[in-house]
């Protein structure tokens, strides 16, 4: 009954899981703020969604794009993942050519549009290095901006939104390429065109274009001065936090009643879950969407012939998932700079009520709490791993559990 084909849990960022948990504020932000404002011609910044691995950044924006396509027939790019060393302008150019085809621009006979599309096709082949050929046309990023604007104008005429999703932005390590990409996308977001409204009055509107950038917190640092005030005016940065236990329980509620729908020999059936099994899955994942999907997937596979997921199924499945869960947390810790890692270790060595700035500083060998300020600030505001309250606390519950308890062993 619980076959691999029917399994609704999917760890990883390449597929939108059927069992969706949390992120209601980010979904609402798109549905109630970003899309309505851009469709109304009002200025609204793009979104930069950052966070540590496993928090579901890419999956979140993929879900937003799916909703935009399914409910509004909007034009969206695929998840434009940026590999290390790749030319971002090439990748974006290829995606924009696809959007241009959706908008009907690829079949345009107007010479200006044909020239622009040909230039972007050249960028999709040669990337930003095309700047070495000054006689070939405008700068690559300018050509991409112009084509994105044309796509936005076509979207306005057809009552659609254009959504661009650039993923793994921290991998764009070439300063010139990153600067050109940010300018290209930002200029398209702020471009205004004049429309005539009933009565003959003319008003300026921004285009129905939205850009989502997703990646690790390192992007906030590495973009540095190249972002500056201009980037801040054009993009709003959101750092994802772990999901609450209540949100995970809500996501699993259909398994308790009426049961998750499946088919057996072509007939409708249902897989249910005990309350103890639900609570065990929630406890295992410590607020991490990746670990939630991993725990659910392995529990599903534990007793494939049974219509009921039990506590024993969760325990058996989690034993299979333990090595991957450990690797997941250790990978996050391994990415931290030395001082930030030392601060995390110092916090974990103290009792929760004793995690004051002074005590942490003393444990690290510093004379004053102010000396740990920069490390603590980055772990709080940039990485979202701790809260600098009184006392300090862990926001990333999987890291805390790994360092201070027997987790992931249950």
CATH of the domain at 38: 3.40.50.300
- The closest alpha carbon to 336, from 239, 214, 218, 171, belongs to 218
**Which of 303, 332, 361 lies at the terminal end of a domain, its last residue?**
332
Domain-located, residue 371: yes
Low-confidence ranges of the chain (pLDDT < 50): 132, 225
CB-CB contact of 140 with 131 (8 Å): yes
Do 232 and 175 lie in one domain? The reply is yes
- The closest alpha carbon to 163, from 76, 64, 267, belongs to 76
List all residues 6 or more positions away from 60 whose beta carbon is below 8 Å from its beta carbon. 23, 26, 27, 49, 214, 240
User: Would you state the pLDDT for residue 214?
Assistant: 94
How far apart are alpha carbons 179 and 143 in whole angstroms? 15
User: Would you state the pLDDT for residue 137?
Assistant: 63
**Which of 332, 355, 381 lies at the terminal end of a domain, its last residue?**
332
Structure tokens at 206: 């921004």
Helix (H) or strand (E) holding 209: strand 209-215
Do 93 and 184 lie in one domain? The reply is yes
Do 57 and 151 lie in one domain? The reply is yes
Give residue 363's domain range: 336-404
How far apart are alpha carbons 131 and 237 in whole angstroms? 30
Domain-located, residue 278: yes
Number of H helices, E strands in the chain: 16, 12
Do 100 and 170 lie in one domain? The reply is yes
- The closest alpha carbon to 293, from 21, 63, 60, belongs to 21
User: Would you state the pLDDT for residue 135?
Assistant: 55
Do 307 and 353 lie in one domain? The reply is no
User: Would you state the pLDDT for residue 223?
Assistant: 61
Domain-located, residue 5: no
- Helices 88-102 and 175-190, interaxial angle, to 10°? 30
30: number of Cβ within 10 Å: 22
Question: How many domains are there within the chain?
Answer: 3
CB-CB contact of 76 with 30 (8 Å): no
Vertex 44, ends 40 and 46: CA angle to 5°?
125
**Which of 204, 239, 274 lies at the terminal end of a domain, its last residue?**
239
Predicted TM-score (pTM) of this structure = 0.89
- The closest alpha carbon to 152, from 184, 174, 109, belongs to 184
CB-CB contact of 376 with 389 (8 Å): no
User: Would you state the pLDDT for residue 330?
Assistant: 95
């Amino acid at each position: 009954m619980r076959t691999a084909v029917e399994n609704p849990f999917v760890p990883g960022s390449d597929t939108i899981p059927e069992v969706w948990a949390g992120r209601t504020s980010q979904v609402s932000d798109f549905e109630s703020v970003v899309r309505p404002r851009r469709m109304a011609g009002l200025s609204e910044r793009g979104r930069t969604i950052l966070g540590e691995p496993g928090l579901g950044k890419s999956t979140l924006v993929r879900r937003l794009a799916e909703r935009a396509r399914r409910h509004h027939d909007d034009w969206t790019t695929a998840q434009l993942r940026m590999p290390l060393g790749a030319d971002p302008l090439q990748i974006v150019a290829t995606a924009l050519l696809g959007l241009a085809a959706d908008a009907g621009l690829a079949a345009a006979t107007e010479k200006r549009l044909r020239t622009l599309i040909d230039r972007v096709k050249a960028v999709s082949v040669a990337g930003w290095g095309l700047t070495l050929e000054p006689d070939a046309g405008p700068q690559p990023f300018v050509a991409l901006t112009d084509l994105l604007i044309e796509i936005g104008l076509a979207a306005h005429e057809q009552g659609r939104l254009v959504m661009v999703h650039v993923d793994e932005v921290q991998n764009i390590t070439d300063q010139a390429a990153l600067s050109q990409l940010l300018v290209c996308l930002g200029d398209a977001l702020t471009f205004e065109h004049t429309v005539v409204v009933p009565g003959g009055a003319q008003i300026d509107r921004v285009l129905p274009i939205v850009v989502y950038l997703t990646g690790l917190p390192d992007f906030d640092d590495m973009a540095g001065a190249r972002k500056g005030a201009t980037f801040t005016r054009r993009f709003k940065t959101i750092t994802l936090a772990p999901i609450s236990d209540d949100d995970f329980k809500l996501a699993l509620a259909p398994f308790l009643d009426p049961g998750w729908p499946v088919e057996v020999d072509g007939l409708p059936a249902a897989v249910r879950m005990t309350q103890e099994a639900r609570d065990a899955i929630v406890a295992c994942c410590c607020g991490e969407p990746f670990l939630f999907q991993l725990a659910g997937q392995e529990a599903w596979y534990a007793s494939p012939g049974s219509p009921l997921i039990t506590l024993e199924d969760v325990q058996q499945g989690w034993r299979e998932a333990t090595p991957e869960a450990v690797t997941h947390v250790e990978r996050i810790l391994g990415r931290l700079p030395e001082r930030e890692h030392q601060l995390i270790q110092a916090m974990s060595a103290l009792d929760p009520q004793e995690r004051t700035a002074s005590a942490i500083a003393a444990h690290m060998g510093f004379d004053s709490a102010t000396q740990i300020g920069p490390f603590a600030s980055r772990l709080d505001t940039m990485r979202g791993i701790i809260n600098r309250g009184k006392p300090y606390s862990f926001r990333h519950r999987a890291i805390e559990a790994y360092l201070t308890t027997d987790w992931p062993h249950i």
